[in-house]
Amino acid sequence: MANNPNADKAPRGPRQTGRRRRRKSGVPLMLVIVLLIMALLMGALAGYVIARKTDPHIHELQDARDRVTELENTLTLIGYPVEDDVDPAQWLYDNTANDNALQDLTGESWGGAEDDLWSDASLLEGTLEAGDESVVVAEFEGGVLLSDEVIPVYNDQLTTQIFAGHSADEVAEATLNSVLAQLAGDKIIATRARELGLTELSAEDLAEIDREAAENYETQLADYIAFVSGGADSRETAARKLEEESGVTLQSVTQSVRENWWTRKFYDYIVREVTVSDEEVQAYYDALLARQRETFLAYPEEFEYAHQMGETIVFRPEGYRAVRDILIGFADDAAEEAAALMEKLEAGTADADEQARLNDLFKPLEATAQQAQEKLAAGQSFSELMDEYGCDETLKSEPMRSQGYYISDHSYVNSVEYVEGSMLLEQPGQVSAPLRSMFGLHLVEYIGPVAPGEVPLSDVMDAMREAALKEKQAAYYAQQRQALLDAANVKYYPERLR
């Protein structure tokens, strides 16, 4: 099926894991806390919007967590000091110098009540309340749109905009107009889909729905085990908790996919004759090459992130090598303490007692690492030992299993020791001594150098053709959708919501 923008599940690369970039030293702790709150809440809100039509996906929250480290790594670009001697207290939330609460990170100390951080005045201004009776807020040939259909979606989207740092006064009108057009359009295309018979599900449709629902559900279970329980729960336990905590079951996922299946069929029907020429593929490749060259040279960490997320790479900066590792992780009861101590060690603030405690936490891991090293010396393959002793979730499947992570001297993908130890390896196939990180001990295998420069179009032709086609299909679908709205003579009455 074509890439349907209305589909429940957007295409994704390899799932993110607990591995994260080490933070550049000196980032103010309180600023990080504020950014963490913002990123998590924005991720939760986005997930809530999605959940109005689909089941919640745990990986959406994980993506929000991952983006916190992205924010940390770019703080210097937006003017915040990162020197080691900066007092974190000067960057506390203040709520005195700016009408926009989310932009009010001032040099003043926070003196208000904790509840004022996300006050009604700063967060909920501009949201709407349903009246006693629902009223018509849009009408078109064949139907109407009611206020109680609009208000929840509008409030969700406006709140998301506010969390993104926008003033309600500035975005409320545009957000409302956008929601009205979106929901009216949804009803109009649903009518058209019924006329075309696309809402009827064939035996082939039902089989594909069951297949995709099962895949989605298994992904959610795997994400729960990896990211929520930290690998402690069995599949059965995770399934029970997922149902209790989120209401997610195989049946609920199947129902969600089934309810929205017609939108995919309609999309595929509309774009069925769209094609791309070789010239259009070349143009798409050239544009992507220019974007990646500019971005990756300015922000090399984005190259590492794009590779890990499974994006098609057409430009590679110099100085990179590919590695993969066996990860011998901490026991659950030691993981949190070890992570905190490693953070302090890398920041240069760990005292002698804390360093001694960290050594004690690593001792049982070192014994296990020695066993793995002995098996390597006896001829057992590195890949087999990754399965036996463990590795990141990302490295459990292809193509990342073979490609590995891309790192360089300036990488922020793990601990300093991990990066420096990996860069000391001289020959492909060579394996490092045990390297420490906040996640445990790593035995790193050097896969080989990453060839710098442009990736020829011929090497990525299939991926570029598919991407160019999807982009053209999406643009064509948007045009046809708008044509349906125009033909339906839609009349909007936003004033009835005020």
Query: Could you read off the pLDDT of 277-322 as tens digits, one per residue?
Result: 999 999 999 999 999 999 999 999 899 999 988 899 999 999 999 9
Q: Identify whether 14 is preceded by a cis peptide bond (ω within 30 of 0).
A: no
Q: Which residue has the tokens 């045009």?
A: 479
Closest to 44 in 3D by CA, of 32, 66, 62: 62
How would residue 231 be classed by pLDDT, with cut points 50, 70 and 90?
low
pLDDT of residue 393: 76
Question: Got the DSSP string for 229-242?
Answer: STT-S-HHHHHHHH
pLDDT digits (tens, 9 = 90+) for 140-175: 998 999 999 999 999 999 888 888 888 888 898 999
Instruction: Assign a CATH topology to domain 319-451.
Output: Chitinase A; domain 3 (3.10.50)
The model carries a pTM of 0.68
Closest to 213 in 3D by CA, of 262, 252, 264: 252
pLDDT (average), residues 96-107: 41
Contact 136, 493 (CB under 8 A): yes
Helix segments in 164-202, DSSP class H? 168-195
Q: Distance (Å, rounded) from C-alpha 492 to C-alpha 181?
A: 8
Cβ neighbour number for residue 293 with a 10 Å cutoff = 16
How would residue 230 be classed by pLDDT, with cut points 50, 70 and 90?
low
> What share of residues in the chain are helix, strand, coil (percent, to 5)?
60, 10, 35
Whether residue 232 is predicted with pLDDT greater than 50 in this model: the reply is: yes
pLDDT digits (tens, 9 = 90+) for 59-68: 444 444 444 4
Radius of gyration of the chain (CA): 26
pLDDT (average), residues 355-362: 92
Contacts of residue 1, defined as CB under 8 A and 6 or more positions apart, other chains included, come to: 264, 268
pLDDT digits (tens, 9 = 90+) for 434-443: 999 888 999 9
Q: Which of 198-212, 251-265, 411-425, 450-464 has the lowest mean pLDDT?
A: 411-425
How would residue 77 be classed by pLDDT, with cut points 50, 70 and 90?
very low
Q: Which residues pair with 139 in a beta bridge?
A: 144, 491
Whether residue 71 is predicted with pLDDT greater than 70 in this model: the reply is: no
Whether residue 488 is predicted with pLDDT greater than 90 in this model: the reply is: yes
